[in-house]
Chains A and B, each alone.
Chain A
Amino acid sequence: MTDVRLDVRGLAKTYGSGPGAVPIIGDLTFDVKVGEIVSIVGPSGIGKTTLLKCLAGLQPMTSGSATIDGRPIVGPPREMALVFQEYTRSLMPWLTVEKNVFMPLRHLRLPKAEAASRVATALQAVGLTDAVKKFPWQLSGGMQQRVAIARALAYRPEVLVMDEPFASVDAQTRFELEDLCLQIRDEFAMTIVLVTHDIDEAVYLSDRVVVLGEKPARVTRILPVEFEGTRDQIVTRALPEFGMLRSEILTLIRKTA
């Protein structure tokens, strides 16, 4: 089909060595194509966060490889941004919203006007134009997560990785942020990898869903998700195909847990 942006081949991760070694990830192989949204789902404790840490270059993998545009990931790659699950802890409480978003751009040494416009565009995209001078702790949980997303957007990564990004916001905000995610992909032409335990969310957002199972983790199945027309919280979720995919994934996860 199209170009492969993120390619994971035989990735394995074991903590420790010798008899006390704990294998977390057995053997993962999947790829993410340019402009795709791919969700990674699996039973809790399967090692999704470990996988993200390896992909983000925060932890070395034990064996196998992961490449972005053909370049192997050894440290945090320039082409990648990560939105953490704990948004409150990932923002710097001593900086205003605007400065939190600007901080990662500092070392890129962009011209001042360009940096300012990136920050403004990102904050506008997530609907936070009125909150630029506020501190993160003055905002609600959903708004804090928007700041974290804006920070990733301003960084203009090719791959945006999100770790259960909407796990601790209320249902209404969750729907809004999910649609924001789709909108970002279209507007900024980003490739998005989303780790989630919410199967509905995975089906709603993704082009493909990677289901993990077993211990240590393996890829159980990769399911393509195709719906006609643009995705809509009410219409898409009411489609019969939506329900079928959802049941299929749930059955896979139950079986392998």
Chain B
Amino acid sequence: MSVRGFTNSRPLLLTLEIGVPVTLLAWWWFASASSTNPFFPSLQKIVTEFGKLWLFDHFLSDIVPSMSNFVIGFAIACVAGVLLGTLLGLVPPLNWLLGPIIQFIRAVPAVALLPIFIAMLGFGNEVRLFIIALAALFPVLISTIDGIRGTDALLVDMSKVYRFSRIERLWFVYLRSASPQIFSGMLVSLQVAFIVMITSEMLGAARGIGAMTLMAQKSFDILGMWAGIVLLGILGYLVNLLFSMFRRRALAWHLGAQRAQASN
């Protein structure tokens, strides 16, 4: 029953998901069409500026470096977070020792540390990469620790009875079992990495989407600033969409099991 109800409401949900933003955009377009307010230019002008500024012209010089920073930083955070999280999850004494330190570093916003790292390491791109990876590390790390520690003891016993090798136990039992939590952590890290990617460029960077947008704002180029904001919105949305699609595929078993449990 509930499954059928769910499938029936799908077209409606999809219509709403696409319809609501389109309606809002249309409303913005027409309501701002005759805007003379210098701070809120018409959407038409923003779109024209967007095309002029970002498409082709600054694509290679600003969007690509920003996005590559973001992707590399996020990837480093994911790999380091899962590796370290697995180690801490499997070795409780290590977690007791390092737990407080991790919580402390996590509590300090990474962006607040940026000036220190710039002072220490200079204005190079590595500093930005480092700060993105550092900020994005913690959500993955903490959810990996939780996921690994939450692995059902019975499954671990099962893997021992059937004499799984250490690698098999780690890969096929612990990491798979933790993967729903790891992915949730990655989703948070993704957003953190995006935010930090932009903010890191607003401090002492000459190129990148964040730098361009901040420069536009500082020189009262309101149109350029709006175009930057629109670009950030679109990129953020696309990045989230891509990751969610990937997550849904990788966790098909988990989502299916949850649905099966809900319908019982």
Question: Which A residues have a C-beta under 8 Å from some C-beta of B?
Answer: 53, 56-58, 75-76, 78, 80-82, 84, 86, 89-90, 92-95, 103-104, 106-107, 135, 137-138, 151, 155
- How many whole Å from A72's CB to the nearest CB in chain B? 17
- CB–CB A76/B253 < 8 A: no
List the one stretch of B76-84, B86-94, B155-163, B198-206 in contact with chain A: B155-163
Given contact pairs A76-B161, A81-B161, A92 touches B261 in the complex (Cβ within 8 A): no
Q: How far is the CA of A58 from the CA of B172 in the complex (A)?
A: 20
In the bound complex, CA of A236 to CA of B162 (Å): 35
Chain B contacts for A103, CB-based, 8 A: 162, 164, 168, 172
Docked complex Cα distance between A90 and B153 (Å):
9
Is B170 close to A, CB under 8 A? no
The answer on a CB contact under 8 Å between B176 and A56 is no
Would A93 and B173 count as touching, CB distance under 8 A? no
Are A92 and B163 in contact, CB atoms less than 8 angstroms apart? no
CB pair B162–A81 under 8 Å, yes or no, is yes
User: In whole Å, how far is A37's beta carbon from the nearest beta carbon of chain B?
Assistant: 20
Ordered by A's residue number, 22 sampled pairs between the chains whose C-beta atoms are within 8 Å are: A53-B157, A57-B161, A58-B157, A76-B160, A81-B161, A81-B162, A82-B158, A84-B157, A90-B155, A90-B158, A92-B155, A93-B253, A93-B254, A94-B179, A94-B254, A95-B172, A103-B168, A104-B162, A107-B168, A137-B256, A138-B256, A151-B162
Q: How many A-B residue pairs have CB under 8 A?
A: 68
Q: Hey, which chain A residues are within 8 Å of B173, CB to CB?
A: 92
Q: When chains A and B are docked, how far (Å) is the Cα of A103 from the Cα of B163?
A: 10
Known contacts A92-B176, A94-B253, A106-B168; A86/B154 CB under 8 A:
yes
Shortest Cβ distance from residue A135 to the other chain B in the assembled complex, whole angstroms:
6
User: Would you call B155 and A89 a contact (CB within 8 A)?
Assistant: yes
